[in-house]
Amino acid sequence: MTSNIMDSDKRMESLSQVMPEGPAKKVEKALLEVLETAICQKFKENSKFVKDHLSSVKKLRLAENPDGYARYLARKQVPDELSYNTGIEKVQTWYRGELRTKLEKLYSLYYEISQEEKCEISKEKAKGIIQGLLNMSLTDD
C-alpha cells in the first residue's frame, strides 16, 4: 500500500516538473523570495517595502485569473525597456547583496512577462469559441 502512495507521489512530482509554471506561480515565487530576503535583512514587517510586496502576493492569490493578474502586474511595473532599465538602476543604487539579486530577478521576470505576446483571450477559450461557431453554422445549413 505504501509503495502505491509513493509511486503516485512520484508521478505527481514528475507531472509538476513537466508542466510549465505559469506567470502567476513564477511571480509569486519571486515575490516571496524578495520578502523572505528582506525580512532576513531585518526589514520591519510594517515597512512600506514589505507591505507593498506582501500586498502583491495577496492580490495575486485572490485574483480570479492569477496568470492574467500577473501579466497586468508585470505590465504595470515594467511596461517597456526604459522602465526596466530605470527600475534596475534604482535597485542597484538602493539595495545590496542577496536582496538586490532577488529584486533584479523579479524585475527581469516582470520584463519578460510584459514582453510576451499580448493575447486578450486564451487559446483554449478561442478554440471553444471557434467550435461553438462551427456547431452553429452546421445547424444553420
Tell me the residue range of the domain where 110 lies: 22-114
Total tally of structural domains belonging to the chain: 1
Per-residue pLDDT tens digits for 85-111: 999 999 999 999 999 999 999 999 999
Per-residue pLDDT tens digits for 6-46: 443 443 343 334 446 899 999 999 999 999 999 999 999 99
- Does residue 47 sit within a domain? yes
- Does residue 95 sit within a domain? yes
Q: List, in sequence order, the alpha helices (H) in the chain.
A: 2-18, 23-40, 48-62, 66-77, 81-94, 97-114, 123-140
pTM of the model: 0.69
Residue whose grid cell is 523572505: 36
